[in-house]
Amino acid sequence: MLDIKLFRTEPELIKENIRKKFQDEKLPLVDEVVEMDKEYRATKTKCDEYRAKRNKLSKEIGGLMAKGQKDEAEKVKAEVKLLGEELPKLEAREVELEEEIKKRMMVIPNIIDPSVPIGKDDSENVEIEKFGDPFVPDFEVPYHVDIMENLNGIDLDSARQTSGNGFYYLKGDIARLHSAILSYARDFMIDRGFTYYIPPFMIRSNVVNGVMSFAEMENMMYKIEGEDLYLIGTSEHSMIGKFIDTITPEADLPQTLTSYSPCFRKEVGAHGIEERGVYRIHQFEKQEMIVVCKPEDSKSWYDKLWQNSVDFFRTLDIPVRTLECCSGDLADLKVKSCDVEAWSPRQKKYFEVGSCSNLGDAQARRLGIRIKGENGNYFAHTLNNTVVAPPRMLIAFLENNLNEDGSIRIPEPLRMYMGGKSVIEVPVKK
């Protein structure tokens, strides 16, 4: 949500930003906010004047009565009564205008960073840099589910019976590998100075509205029937919500947090749910990183966060690249975002395994996350990034560490979490 002062001083800047995001249908909202804000301020001023006048006149009544000026006192009483009748109408209009302004401001996109490339959708995202050499072995790399089934590590048929498409049972060494990757990701981030959290997996609607746009919520979130609770789509939601209505001293910043959680998503949209696979699913687990910092530090933290993901994947021998999200692919709250994509030897292309985002003060304004500075309080900046999100990440891991006989190499950093194993062998069929 933008600062209302920006609507008063630079409405054309807001409109130009809307055009850059190819959301021209929202252009009229800017003028509506400007006009409503004028009426709101005038109404608020009149309310304040009426209240002050009513209080002043009320005090005069006692003085007039004490002097025996009963007729004058009655005239003042009548005036006070009239003010008392008009004031609730004005106050109701003030509240109505405030709500209507906020409703419009909540769907107007954040001002994007000048460095963001202009484009309509993800097809116009821009490659930034590659890390590691993409490799295609001289043997065929099977589909990821076939690799896991060959290792007796996944059961999709049973999951469809219990839960439907978009769910899975992992088992044996594949399930252990899944947990090992998350444990390694946890320790990787702790070693980089982040504090480890396990957050609530359900949050209230005011937190949901604070961390994401309404369109995102409708396409992602599962609501708990009969309660003001939603299942989280990522631990970022809980972790940013942790700071709701807080004032953090500058000396306590930055707050650098890493959190584990299961994630639940409807996955409504063009991509849909895979019937056979674990790339786009309703339930998965993730290790996340979150930063709350001073505005002047958010750009440097953005670069540190995506670099953490790149470094993590490279320790597991997985080539990756970073991809700058264009203006039309940015969610409305984001100032800047990039995807980290892993190399797929089977598809001979990269695919998304994580996303790093700088949201500026958008979430902080919605949730009241402030910093206490020497010259007063101001809004914080918030950032988030995926460390790792298996089982999607398992696809990249399995393809890039697959041996010709179907076994899987275990890179050295994961071995301590796999009971010392250096290879996952193909089970001998009985």
Is 35 one of the annotated active-site residues of the chain? no
Strand intervals (E) in 211-348: 222-223, 230-231, 247-249, 255-264, 283-293, 320-324, 336-344
List Cα–Cα distances, 94 to 84, 99, 192, 347, in angstroms. 16, 9, 49, 58
Of 381, 215, 361, which Cα lies nearest the Cα of 290?
381
Of 327, 279, 323, which Cα lies nearest the Cα of 130?
323
Relative orientation angle of helices 11-20 and 27-66, to the nearest 10 degrees: 150
> Residues 266, 268, 271, 274: is their CA dihedral positive or negative?
positive
**In terms of C-beta density within 10 A (0-12 exposed, 13-18 middle, 19 or more buried), how is residue 420 classed?**
exposed
Number of residues assigned to the chain? 430
What is residue 195's predicted lDDT score, i.e. its pLDDT?
Answer: 98
State pLDDT tens for residues 373-421: 999 999 999 999 999 999 889 999 999 999 999 999 999 999 999 999 9
What is residue 122's predicted lDDT score, i.e. its pLDDT?
Answer: 93
Amino acid occupying residue 226: G
Catalytic residue among 39, 60, 352, 415: 352
Place of tokens 């109404």: 43
Any idea what DSSP says for residue 158? H
What is residue 79's predicted lDDT score, i.e. its pLDDT?
Answer: 83
Any idea what DSSP says for residue 193? T
| H helical segments located in 212-342 | 214-220, 235-241, 298-315
What is residue 57's predicted lDDT score, i.e. its pLDDT?
Answer: 86
Catalytic residue among 93, 104, 160, 280: 280
Is 365 one of the annotated active-site residues of the chain? no
Catalytic residue among 265, 321, 365, 370: 265
What does 13-68 look like in DSSP terms, one character per residue?
Answer: HHHHHHHHTT-GGGHHHHHHHHHHHHHHHHHHHHHHHHHHHHHHHHHHHHHHHHTT
Is 176 one of the annotated active-site residues of the chain? no
What is residue 269's predicted lDDT score, i.e. its pLDDT?
Answer: 56
Element (H, E) at 5: helix 4-9
Is 93 one of the annotated active-site residues of the chain? no
What is residue 74's predicted lDDT score, i.e. its pLDDT?
Answer: 80
What is residue 273's predicted lDDT score, i.e. its pLDDT?
Answer: 59
Structural contact between residues 363 and 383, judged by C-beta atoms closer than 8 angstroms = no
Strand intervals (E) in 119-159: 126-131, 154-155
Q: How far apart are CA 351 and CA 69, in angstroms?
A: 85
What is residue 85's predicted lDDT score, i.e. its pLDDT?
Answer: 87
Is 392 one of the annotated active-site residues of the chain? yes
CA dihedral 259, 198, 180, 221 (to 10 degrees): -70
Q: How far apart are CA 273 and CA 267, in angstroms?
A: 7
What is residue 370's predicted lDDT score, i.e. its pLDDT?
Answer: 98
Strand 202-203 and strand 230-231: pairing? antiparallel
Catalytic residue among 355, 365, 370, 399: 355
What is residue 197's predicted lDDT score, i.e. its pLDDT?
Answer: 98
Domains and CATH numbers, the chain: 4-105 (1.10.287.40), 122-424 (3.30.930.10)
What are the residue ranges in the chain where pLDDT is below 70? 268-275, 430
